[in-house]
Amino acid sequence: MENRQQIAAGNWKMNKTFEEGIALVKEIIEKSNNERTLVILAVPFTHLNGIADLVAPIPNIKLAAQNCHEKESGAFTGEISANMLLSVGADYVILGHSERREHFKESNEVLAKKVEHAISKGLIPIFCCGESLRIRKAKIHVDFVSNQLNEGLFHLNPEAFSKVIIAYEPIWAIGTGETATPEQAQNMHKEIRALIEKKYGHDLAQNIPILYGGSVKPDSAKDLFHQPDVDGGLVGGASLNADDFVAILNSF
Ligand code: PGA
């Protein structure tokens, strides 16, 4: 993994009440003593402010939101802006998760706007990409992910792009218990890095963290994280349990 930052990100999705969330973060803080890994907790919007106070004294634990709007403010009932997220302690935002793409019909076009807006405000996007089982079986997964990157990310200028974290999350591995093999993950991460290199050059390609997501568990994390182009994980289910999540972040 070159000299890139190791990252363990937890995506809580729509889980945990506020009290449960506070208890989970306290347990993670208590049980983890790994200061080399950047830990990013993508918690529900409603929890950010309260959890920000808890993690403030811990330099390597940061907060993310799971979505944000592409406009600065205005008549968008129910939406949350990048500025709002920054004001309650989020430094990162997941954009383009496959569940947002599928259930909320987020297109590459809208994601391109969200990414650009988030970066312009100083919020770091964790941009998700990844193919369905149908696409993988048809052996067009590299083209599919390449298109997601072209349309959703590669409009950024190099300076803006240098802020981005990418998460490769094959849809067939999310929440299914079926993890991509370390080789499958490495192959796709290598392809993604090659696409970045083609667009932005070698140095930038070497600096962008690419996380793997999809049923990362304590017993699969180590082999995945030891692949040369896998810089960490975006962890769903296993991030809801402190022991599992701490075991994963100790897997580097
Ligand atoms: P999972 O979710 O670890 O439960 O498969 C990963 C994700 O959706 O980010």
pLDDT in tens, 3-46: 799 999 999 999 999 999 999 999 999 999 888 999 999 999 99
Residue 246 clears pLDDT 90, i.e. is over it: yes
Residue 2 clears pLDDT 90, i.e. is over it: no
Cα–Cα distance list, 150 to 49, 134, 155, 200, 217 (Å): 34, 21, 7, 12, 30
Q: For residues 173 and 176, give the distance between their C-alpha atoms in angstroms, rounded to a whole number.
A: 6
Q: So what's the pLDDT on residue 228?
A: 97
40 lines ligand 1 (CB under 6 A): no
Q: What is the pTM of this model?
A: 0.97
Tell me the residue ranges of DSSP E strands in the chain: 7-11, 38-42, 61-65, 92-95, 124-129, 165-168, 210-213, 232-235
Q: Are 230 and 6 in contact (CB under 8 A)?
A: no
Active-site residue (options: 47, 69, 97, 141): 97
Nearest of 208, 220, 219, 213 to residue 234 by alpha carbon: 213
Q: Mean pLDDT, to the nearest integer, of 122-141?
A: 96
In a mutational test of the pocket of ligand 1, which residue from 235, 240, 244 has the highest number of ligand atoms less than 8 Å from its CB? Answer: 235
Q: So what's the pLDDT on residue 175?
A: 86
User: pLDDT band at 230, cuts 50/70/90?
Assistant: very high
Active site residue 169: yes
Residue 159 clears pLDDT 90, i.e. is over it: yes
Q: Quick one: tokens of 59?
A: 């330099």
Q: Locate tokens 């205005």: which residue?
A: 74
Residue 1 clears pLDDT 60, i.e. is over it: no
* Cβ burial, residue 190 (10 Å; 0-12/13-18/19+): middle
Mean of all residue pLDDT scores within the chain: 96
